[in-house]
Structure 1
């Protein structure tokens, strides 16, 4: 049995946790949401790097066998340095799935909806540079979407109106594939389908992230597959009760099969 830490600026990483519970339900999880500081996408790269390091060190001190940085912005700005410090723990990041999106696109036009910090990061642009030049990537910052998702308004009229503005350049360019480049954005699938219909491919990397976690656990000899269901601790820097409630609403896995705890980590305020 392994203890797996999952860290995000807020509730977005619940999309990763949900996939992990589907594939690896037997392990114990700590989900740490830095909701008092969400969203990260509009903060400086220096602040993101320092805060991400602090939270990952906290999870390491809790005894985590692996840590998922379930935030595209934190991955882009901080994960390289985190890995140089926490050298004995697998640190698994998330990044926009632009490579699988390009492979699935029929017309070579791919929309990328992500935070401004992710789109401007060296890590993202280095990844973009590895892809053939015939692909056209329409980059669009989803400003304002994360706070609305954090407030439980993923399917509200306000989100639909804002999302329509963000998707307009992508739609106008004729993109047939859309990368959900923030872990919050899979919770907008219903709203995106309402606006764009079923003709556009939606790409998120939750499955790939969890498969990488599985490989790391196998290397540590910690894969069980014994049919049990581990515990989940929901930790928040702002409001643990709200985080637990959002988890119940957003996660499709059956949380009743797991022992659930919640805690406010006030020293991170």
Structure 2
């Protein structure tokens, strides 16, 4: 039985699709006893080619749904949604909003050749956030920005290790390596699930960095002292929802999560975390 004196927090996480599960995994490792709600806006994925107004509207609607479901912290587990909509979300919400940022700063610290490659959606690479990161941390470093149209869709379909996926990744990565890149930034949460294939192509001498662990640390800081031993007996509650087709989503979610999960359609009234 759960300790009635221990208050367990609920974290809401959303992404344009399934990519944010990589962030949720990192949060779960750091704080395995919180409740969480995950919403994949797969019915509208990918966000990379969407107008900014559309992304802002969807982010606001999904954040409202998470708050309605009891979320006390929201994680925007999507670099594109962060770049376009996070400031507006923070102005609208009274709860903490934790967001993504391509790991350009740590990549600059890792590089030995002075060349890094950034793999991301076109919308992310065109954002003011990436321009700021390059300006603040890219002095003296050659930052190669590589858009990856279609890569999110491959992950959404669960095509992580097919030959077409490998061929496409080679076309993206080999030119970066040829230009001297010894560090690659995965600037989209979906791409984390392709990391094993990316490592094979890039080779052992190339560092690969992404932001999920940094985001998890931010969430843990917001949780503060509630990361307590008394919570060890708490059975966490979880809810996975999608704006896409639940049957298809359930297969992909389970593949990426590493265990069978139930995925429900996002509807009013069914968004609270449940065991």
Normalised by the size of structure 1, how large is the TM-score?
A: 0.92
Shift of 1:246: 2.1
- Are 2:146 and 1:128 aligned? no
Find 2:149's aligned residue among 136, 143, 149: 143
Q: Which residue of 2 aligns with 1:79?
A: 86
Structure 1 spans left out of the alignment, 5+ residues: none
Q: Which residue of 2 aligns with 1:13?
A: 20
Normalised by the size of structure 2, how large is the TM-score?
A: 0.90
Q: How does 1:26-41 map to 2 (within 5 A)?
A: 26-41=33-48
Shift of 1:34: 0.4
Q: How does 1:223-242 map to 2 (within 5 A)?
A: 223-225=227-229, 226-227=231-232, 228-242=234-248
- Are 2:25 and 1:24 aligned? no
Shift of 1:65: 0.8
CA contact (8 A) 1:106 1:176 kept: yes
- Are 2:181 and 1:180 aligned? no
CA contact (8 A) 1:234 1:243 kept: no
CA contact (8 A) 1:26 1:224 kept: no
| Whole-angstrom CA distance in 2 between matches of 1:99 and 1:124 | 11
Structure 2 spans left out of the alignment, 5+ residues: 1-7, 269-275
| Whole-angstrom CA distance in 2 between matches of 1:262 and 1:153 | 19
State the Cα deviation string for residues 105-149 of structure 1 (Å, max 9, x = none).
111110000000000011221122111420110000011111011
Q: How does 1:200-215 map to 2 (within 5 A)?
A: 200-215=206-221
CA contact (8 A) 2:154 2:165 kept: yes
CA contact (8 A) 1:217 1:223 kept: yes
| Whole-angstrom CA distance in 2 between matches of 1:112 and 1:181 | 6
